[in-house]
Amino acid sequence: SSSVNWPPEFRPGEPWKGYPNI
């Protein structure tokens, strides 16, 4: 389930993957 991985973690210096490019 995707809710298990929510919220996406922000890691400084890494590309942000939690928010899809629209």
Partner 1 sequence: DLKATVLSAASPGEQKEMLGERLFPLVQAIQPTMSNKITGMLLELENSELLHMLESPESLRSMVEEAVEVLQAHQA
Binding residues (CB under 8 A) for partner 1: these are 3, 6-13, 15-16, 18-22
For 15, the 3-state DSSP assignment is coil
Q: Are 18 and 6 spatial neighbours (Cβ–Cβ below 8 Å)?
A: no
Contact, 17 vs 8, CB < 8 A?
yes
Closest distance to partner 1 from the beta carbon of 21 (Å): 4
Question: For 3, which DSSP code?
Answer: G
Shortest separation between residue 15's beta carbon and partner 1, angstroms: 7
Provide the minimum distance between the beta carbon of 11 and partner 1 in the complex, in angstroms, as a whole number: 6
